[in-house]
């Protein structure tokens, strides 16, 4: 972004992130383009606030906001957006960090005709040492791709045949005036997929969303994250978001088809999660009753059940010992949108 040399507010929503928030804060403060780092403590019960403060570099750029009750990631980030004062805003998760130069590389490659710009995330095993992470250099704008709504939605459908890497994982830099002019904020009712929902609405509003290869956003992949499970209610809220968007008359045929596919995939996951929850609390027959009310989801539930049992028998797969991205350039639709 031409002009202002310190033009980015970095928002870090944090809850019980004492162990990781220091690295996140320090990495953001280390970027010369960052005018302020806003940590929003989402009613933590540990030493998150103290750990964030300990990472301060005395430049006066760190602000810590403490919420008295938990608002969830969306609500906490909205509080950060409200406090941000820079022309651009970026989100950093409390257990992730920037490699040096990430913001500068991203802005330099973006040009001047963007509303959102993001780079491929480096998904890094927890045991990998920082010095072992390498990034291929960017070419002069040739790697910049335009992301459209249909491609974005299709890129958020989780598939067992590939590692997790949905486009909703991206952490773009936003132009603040674009968010403001279009009334865009995170949906506080959504605690799963809040990024997906915001990016969807931004693209619906006409956002020029460019993506490029990795510039240095590092997401740590931990062993316990492999067994994490979203609640049925979380998934149902995300499916409800899709259902509401399907009522829009402005969707193209391709966008509507993609959104229906995403809604269907999310509903299958929700029914599976609900069946497991009901089975745990009310027994097997009650869980089977949930399945009976959603017959179209039964093949998916059976596949997931078999996969879970096989996984329990053979053991948890080891995490890869190298960093990997979400393979943005491996999604065929993106190549058609390459920006010249």
| Residue 275 DSSP SS3 | helix
Q: How confident is the model at residue 2 (pLDDT cuts 50, 70, 90)?
A: very low
| CA distances from residue 259 to 153, 208, 266, 328 in whole angstroms, order as listed | 6, 20, 10, 19
pLDDT for residue 160 is more than 70: no
CA–CA distance, 215 with 217 (Å, rounded to integer): 6
For range 69-91, the mean pLDDT: 96
For range 103-118, the mean pLDDT: 92
Q: What is the pTM of this model?
A: 0.84
CA–CA distance, 26 with 30 (Å, rounded to integer): 6
Stronger pLDDT, 287 or 77, i.e. the higher one: 77
pLDDT for residue 24 is more than 70: yes
Stronger pLDDT, 179 or 295, i.e. the higher one: 179
Q: How confident is the model at residue 111 (pLDDT cuts 50, 70, 90)?
A: confident
Write the pLDDT tens digit of every residue in 244-289. Answer: 999 999 999 999 999 999 999 998 888 888 888 888 888 887 777 7
DSSP states of 42-89: ES-SSSHHHHHHHT--SSS-EEEEEESS--HHHHHHHHHHHH--SSEE
What's the pLDDT score for residue 321?
A: 41
What's the pLDDT score for residue 132?
A: 56
For range 84-108, the mean pLDDT: 95
- Give per-residue burial for 279-300: e unless 16+ CB within 10 Å, then b: beeeeeeebeebbeebeebbeb
* H helix or E strand, kind and range, residue 123: strand 122-125
Question: How much is the CA Rg of the chain, to the nearest whole Å?
Answer: 20
* H helix or E strand, kind and range, residue 108: helix 102-110
What's the pLDDT score for residue 159?
A: 67
Query: β-pairing, 116-119 with 209-212?
Result: parallel
In the structure encoding, which two tokens stand for residue 290, read together?
Answer: 């949930």
What's the pLDDT score for residue 65?
A: 97
Name, of 33-37, 164-168, 274-278, 314-318, the range with top average pLDDT. Answer: 33-37
For range 53-79, the mean pLDDT: 95
What's the pLDDT score for residue 307?
A: 60
Write the pLDDT tens digit of every residue in 316-328. Answer: 444 344 444 444 4
CA–CA distance, 274 with 224 (Å, rounded to integer): 22
Q: How confident is the model at residue 225 (pLDDT cuts 50, 70, 90)?
A: very low
């Amino acid at each position: 972004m031409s002009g202002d040399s310190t033009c980015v507010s970095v928002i870090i929503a944090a809850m019980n992130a004492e162990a990781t928030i220091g690295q996140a804060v320090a990495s953001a403060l280390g970027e010369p383009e960052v005018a302020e780092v806003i940590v929003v403590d989402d009613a933590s019960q540990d030493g998150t606030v103290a750990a964030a403060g300990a990472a301060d570099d005395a430049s006066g750029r760190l602000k810590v906001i403490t919420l008295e009750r938990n608002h969830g990631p969306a609500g906490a980030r909205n509080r950060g957006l409200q406090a941000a004062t820079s022309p651009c805003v970026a989100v950093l998760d409390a257990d992730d960090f920037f490699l040096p130069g990430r913001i500068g590389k991203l802005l330099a490659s973006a040009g001047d005709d963007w509303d959102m710009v993001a780079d491929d995330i480096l998904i890094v095993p927890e045991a990998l040492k920082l010095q072992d992470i390498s990034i291929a250099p960017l070419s002069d704008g040739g790697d910049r791709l335009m992301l459209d709504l249909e491609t974005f939605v299709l890129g958020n459908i989780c598939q067992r045949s590939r590692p997790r890497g949905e486009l909703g994982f991206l952490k773009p830099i936003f132009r603040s005036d674009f968010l403001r002019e279009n009334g865009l904020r995170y949906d506080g009712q959504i605690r799963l997929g809040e990024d997906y929902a915001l990016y969807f609405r931004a693209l619906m509003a006409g956002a020029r969303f460019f993506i490029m290869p990795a510039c240095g956003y590092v997401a740590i992949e931990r062993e316990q994250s492999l067994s994490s499970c979203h609640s049925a209610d979380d998934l149902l809220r995300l499916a409800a978001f899709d259902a509401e968007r399907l009522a829009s008359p402005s969707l193209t045929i391709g966008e509507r088809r993609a959104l229906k596919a995403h809604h269907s995939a999310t509903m299958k996951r929700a029914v599976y999660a609900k069946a497991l929850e009901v089975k745990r609390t009310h027994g097997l027959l009650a869980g089977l009753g949930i399945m009976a009310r959603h017959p179209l989801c039964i093949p998916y539930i059976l596949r997931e059940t078999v996969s879970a049992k096989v996984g329990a028998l053979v053991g948890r797969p080891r995490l890869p010992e190298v960093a990997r991205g979400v393979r943005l350039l491996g999604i065929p639709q993106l190549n058609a949108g390459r920006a010249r």
